[in-house]
A and B are shown apart, each in its own frame.
Chain A
Amino acid sequence: MTEISTNLETREATGGRVAEIFNEHQQLVHRRTDRMFAGLMALQWLGGVAAALWVSPKAWAGASSQTHPHVWAALLLGSVISSLPIILAVTRPGHVTTRYTVAVGQMLMGALLIHLTGGRIETHFHVFGSLAFLSCYRDWRVLIPATIVVAADHFLRGVFWPQSVYGVLAASEWRWLEHAGWVLFEDTVLFIAIRHSIGEMWGIAERTAEIESLNEGLEAHVANRTAQLVAANRELEREVAERKLAEAELAEQRSFLRQVIDLNPSFVFAKDAEGRFTLVNRAIAEAYGTSVEGLLGKTDADFNSNREEVEWFRRDDLEVINTLKEKFIPEEVITDARGQVRWLQTIKRPILSPDGTANQVLGIATDITARKQAERALRQSEERFRQIAENIREVFWITEPRDKKLVYISPAYEEVWGRPFRSLSDVSSTWLDAIHPDDRARLIEAEVTVQSGGQYDLEYRIVRPDGEIRWVRDRAFPITNVSGEVYRVAGVIDDVTERKQALEQIKRSLHEKEVLLKEIHHRVKNNMQVITSLLNLQSKTIKDEQALSVFQDSQNRVKSMALIHETLYQSEDLSRINFAEYLQKLVAHVTRSYRIRPDAVRINVNVDDVSLPIDTAVPCGLIINELASNSLKYAFPAETQGEVNITFARADAQYVLRVSDTGVGLPDGFDPDKGKSLGMKLVRMLTGQLCGRLECRNGVGTTFEIKFPEDKEEVRA
């Protein structure tokens, strides 16, 4: 019963699909038959033309002939009849109008062929053959227009031209019904065949639909099972992936924890009740001179040679396990694999089981050896600092500016300040009071500077309780924390009273000597001025020009030296002379003494900014005086115009003095090394004093060049 019900349901479900398949099949048949008729009608048309050409190619009239009208009829009318069915069969295959048009056209083509063959009874078989072909549509309705065309043809021709269709002259007016009856007879046969064929098509459609339905059910079942398997597989894959992910995460966490405890410089360990390590990190393993794997499962006794330490560790471990209480061990020692004692700060905690008992102890021991060493070093350092600070005469002090608190001051404070040391706060409160009132402002300003990160080196006065004033030198510098902030200021104060007094004495002595030296230079200059004046007075009684010239030269020579002393006592530096300043004065004097008009001979002075010692400046001044005087007197006769150039430069650790003119030049054969004049002798002699070398060039004018070292003493040595 269930099976029958299922079949019925399947049939109902497949009913629509059966009709769909049938329609598809029928449409396929219609299209295929349309295409068949398209070809068939084209062949018919060609066959009709061929038949016309064969049977009645020409119409004759005597000996002349022309194309027979049947040929044109076959060609033109046949093409017209065939055209529309062929076009529709090609462009609209499967449409009902197409096959109706094909049916009509096929029957009309039969009529044409019957005409072309002269009404041969054999050609009438075309009608029945065409009906058989039309049955290929498996659509009995196409037989209707075909039959109507045949009936109409016979009816009309039976009425108007009976012998053309019936072959008798006096056919009955109902004779067309006989012919139509035979056509209907064939129609009936074809109708039955078409019905059978349609039935078979429906059967095929039903079977196809059933097969499809079964296939779809089977496919759906397979798809359902496949989907279930895929889902299960995905779930399995997801679980596997999650498990892998969890394992990876666990491994990652283990690795991470392993790295954490290995990176920890403290000793991380766990031991069981028997003292065997169950967890260790790299630090403790390295301390014991082994690896992590090598330490696991072993005890302290396996690596530590100090039995006392081992027992101590063991006792603490058992205490923690038994009491279930955490134990903090501020300091303990362990002897490592190299035999070195390391200080540890350890905390031990029991590892509790679910039942509340403990059979393992977890410990973390921080190596405080460095801290212990630092503390010891600090103590030693403090001791050394204390020894230094308490035994030197300088006063060390440290303040915290934020709290305006004196942190430290060395015992030398009592000696320098002349005050007893009661407390740091006492010192701090009386600090500014002890500063000389005139120096307090400077000190306060300096303290602001050092609190801002600067330093100061300041000398100021303090006033002792007995009224004695002492000079101190206070050098302070900031102390910054890790963030760069000044949190302390330290300083050193030195009692400089004696040194200050000695310096004042030296300054006074130096000033006295400078005054004296200036006075000497003044006196020398005045004496030379007196000599010059005497020579001048004396020269006024001399009539001889040569003697007068000698007097004038001597005056100029004395004047050149007097200018040295004048420049010296007017300058700040009494040992060196600004040579450029001196040379300007010298050239001005020489020009005036020889009454040289500026528009006749121009004297150009080009001197580097150099300062010369007096033992160099005097010879240089005399040399320039001699050479310039020589040029002014002899180089420009008859008041001709020209230039005298004086340059003094320093290059390559030596000085170059050059005096040149654009005058008439030296006489032919003049040798500066052998010149007999006093001037040339002085020049050679003074050049020798300077350890220099004299060169003379005679061309367009005369050029004297003297080069001498900066440090004559070095050359002489």
Chain B
Amino acid sequence: MRFNKGQFILFAACAVWVSLIALGLGLLWAYENRPGPSTTPPAQWPSDSRIDLATDRATLVIMTHPHCPCTRASIGELARLMAQAQGRVTAYALFLKPEGSYDDWEKTDLWQSAASIPGVNVVVDDGGAEARRFHAMTSGQILLYDAEGRLLFSGGITGSRGHSGDNAGLSAVVSLLNTGEAEAAETFAFGCPLFDTQSECRGSLDDGNKH
């Protein structure tokens, strides 16, 4: 079977085309499945935290970068979680407000979405102080503490970056809240970095570890 010139050009173009698409989709998949930097959160509720630990139920803290588009999926999953938790958890959405940012920088659609979830308390985290206290570096990271202040879960509640739907993190949190047990106590968090430099994060992390 012999190809003429036109057919050969068409075949070559299709091959190049498929290759480029495969490469592009591969890069896209790689990006979406690359988790944010993970740290070890404090095993005990930080004492210097300005957030009050609920004593009669579990307390959930979600780190939120108000402008991170990936975190929109996490807020959506939080809404599902809160619906499934049925009052067994007190949730705090800490909205980062970097130093020097303009007023209401943090008041984005995510703020509105989070605020509209029943049982979720929206708190401004000025300068990321609370995030540092919890050693959090990625937007969308969830920290679940029991009434005694012990860390039950740490990680994300989306399967990938900005991707809604069932995922291990959400299932684990819901299971912990409902049964007290979960297959996993830690998952990857997918979202924007809360701090723009690695050194800053590292410094904060070091500080957190000291606590």
Q: Please list the residues of chain A having a beta carbon within 8 angstroms of any beta carbon in chain B.
A: 55-65, 68-70, 73, 76-77, 80-81, 83-84, 87-88, 97, 101, 108, 111-112, 115, 118-120, 161, 163-164, 166-169
Pick the contact of A84: B17, B33, B67 (CB < 8 A): B17
B62 CB to closest chain A CB, in angstroms? 16
- Say whether B168 contacts A60, CB under 8 Å: no
A68 to B65, CA, bound (A): 15
- Say whether B14 contacts A84, CB under 8 Å: yes
Query: Can you list 22 residue pairs at the A/B interface with Cβ under 8 Å?
Result: A58-B69, A60-B65, A62-B96, A62-B98, A63-B100, A63-B101, A69-B31, A73-B24, A77-B21, A77-B24, A80-B20, A80-B24, A84-B13, A84-B17, A97-B10, A120-B164, A163-B165, A164-B32, A164-B163, A166-B165, A168-B165, A169-B168
B4 CB to closest chain A CB, in angstroms? 13
Known: A62-B195, A68-B69. A169 touches B166 (CB 8 A): yes
User: Residue of B at shortest CB range from A84?
Assistant: B17
Contacts of B21 in A (CB 8 A): 77, 80-81, 108
A118 to B31, CA, bound (A): 13
Q: Mark B1-21, 1 if CB is under 8 A from A, else 0.
A: 000000000100110010011
- Say whether B164 contacts A60, CB under 8 Å: no
Contacts of A168 in B (CB 8 A): 165-166
Contacts of A60 in B (CB 8 A): 65, 67-68, 139, 192-193
A81 to B28, CA, bound (A): 14
Task: Kindly state whether residue B155 has any CB partner on chain A within 8 Å.
Answer: no
A637 CB to closest chain B CB, in angstroms? 134
**Minimum-distance CB pairs A-B, first 4:** A62-B196, A167-B165, A56-B69, A77-B24
A65 to B108, CA, bound (A): 15
B31 CB to closest chain A CB, in angstroms? 5
- Say whether A62 contacts B197, CB under 8 Å: yes
Known: A81-B21, A118-B72. A163 touches B167 (CB 8 A): yes
Task: Kindly state whether residue B70 has any CB partner on chain A within 8 Å.
Answer: yes
- Say whether B164 contacts A167, CB under 8 Å: yes
- Say whether A61 contacts B192, CB under 8 Å: yes
A84 to B10, CA, bound (A): 10
User: Residue of B at shortest CB range from A73?
Assistant: B28
- Say whether A119 contacts B165, CB under 8 Å: yes
User: Residue of B at shortest CB range from A153?
Assistant: B25
B195 CB to closest chain A CB, in angstroms? 5
A108 to B162, CA, bound (A): 20
Known: A62-B197, A169-B167. A115 touches B17 (CB 8 A): no
User: Residue of B at shortest CB range from A101?
Assistant: B14
A529 CB to closest chain B CB, in angstroms? 140
User: Residue of B at shortest CB range from A69?
Assistant: B31
Contacts of A164 in B (CB 8 A): 32, 159-160, 163, 165
Task: Kindly state whether residue B73 has any CB partner on chain A within 8 Å.
Answer: yes
Number of B positions contacting A (CB below 8 A) = 44
B145 CB to closest chain A CB, in angstroms? 24
Contacts of B164 in A (CB 8 A): 118-120, 167
Contacts of A166 in B (CB 8 A): 165
A54 CB to closest chain B CB, in angstroms? 10
Known: A62-B194, A163-B165, A164-B165. A169 touches B171 (CB 8 A): yes
Contacts of A83 in B (CB 8 A): 17
B49 CB to closest chain A CB, in angstroms? 20
- Say whether A61 contacts B193, CB under 8 Å: yes
- Say whether A163 contacts B159, CB under 8 Å: yes
A118 to B161, CA, bound (A): 8
A112 to B162, CA, bound (A): 14
Q: Mark B161-184, 1 if CB is under 8 A from A, else 0.
A: 011111110010000000000000
A57 to B162, CA, bound (A): 13
Contacts of B139 in A (CB 8 A): 60
A152 CB to closest chain B CB, in angstroms? 11
A504 to B27, CA, bound (A): 160
Pick the contact of B67: A65, A81, A108 (CB < 8 A): A65
- Say whether B162 contacts A56, CB under 8 Å: yes
A352 to B95, CA, bound (A): 143
Contacts of A65 in B (CB 8 A): 67
A589 to B51, CA, bound (A): 185
- Say whether A69 contacts B28, CB under 8 Å: yes
Contacts of A73 in B (CB 8 A): 24, 27-28
B166 CB to closest chain A CB, in angstroms? 4
A60 to B167, CA, bound (A): 23
Contacts of B162 in A (CB 8 A): 56, 118
Most buried by A among B14, B33, B139, B162: B162
Most buried by A among B27, B69, B168: B69
Which B50-90 residues sit within 8 Å CB-CB of chain A?
Answer: 65, 67-70, 72-73
Most buried by B among A87, A120, A169: A169
- Say whether A59 contacts B192, CB under 8 Å: yes
Contacts of A118 in B (CB 8 A): 72-73, 162-164
Pick the contact of A77: B25, B96, B166 (CB < 8 A): B25
A97 to B28, CA, bound (A): 28
A108 to B14, CA, bound (A): 14
Pick the contact of A163: B17, B128, B166 (CB < 8 A): B166
User: Residue of B at shortest CB range from A98?
Assistant: B10
User: Residue of A at shortest CB range from B66?
Assistant: A60
Known: A84-B14, A97-B10, A169-B171. A61 touches B166 (CB 8 A): no
Which B117-141 residues sit within 8 Å CB-CB of chain A?
Answer: 128, 139
Contacts of A108 in B (CB 8 A): 21, 25
- Say whether B28 contacts A115, CB under 8 Å: yes
User: Residue of A at shortest CB range from B33?
Assistant: A161
A150 CB to closest chain B CB, in angstroms? 14
- Say whether A61 contacts B196, CB under 8 Å: yes
Contacts of B67 in A (CB 8 A): 58, 60, 65
A77 to B20, CA, bound (A): 8
- Say whether A76 contacts B13, CB under 8 Å: no
- Say whether A111 contacts B25, CB under 8 Å: yes
B164 CB to closest chain A CB, in angstroms? 6
B163 CB to closest chain A CB, in angstroms? 5
Known: A60-B192, A63-B98, A68-B69. A161 touches B160 (CB 8 A): yes
Contacts of B128 in A (CB 8 A): 62
Contacts of A80 in B (CB 8 A): 17, 20-21, 24
A166 to B163, CA, bound (A): 11
Most buried by B among A62, A70, A168: A62
A322 to B14, CA, bound (A): 117
Known: A65-B67, A118-B73. A167 touches B28 (CB 8 A): no
Contacts of B32 in A (CB 8 A): 115, 164
A70 to B96, CA, bound (A): 23
A83 to B18, CA, bound (A): 11
Contacts of A77 in B (CB 8 A): 21, 24-25, 28
A566 to B25, CA, bound (A): 158
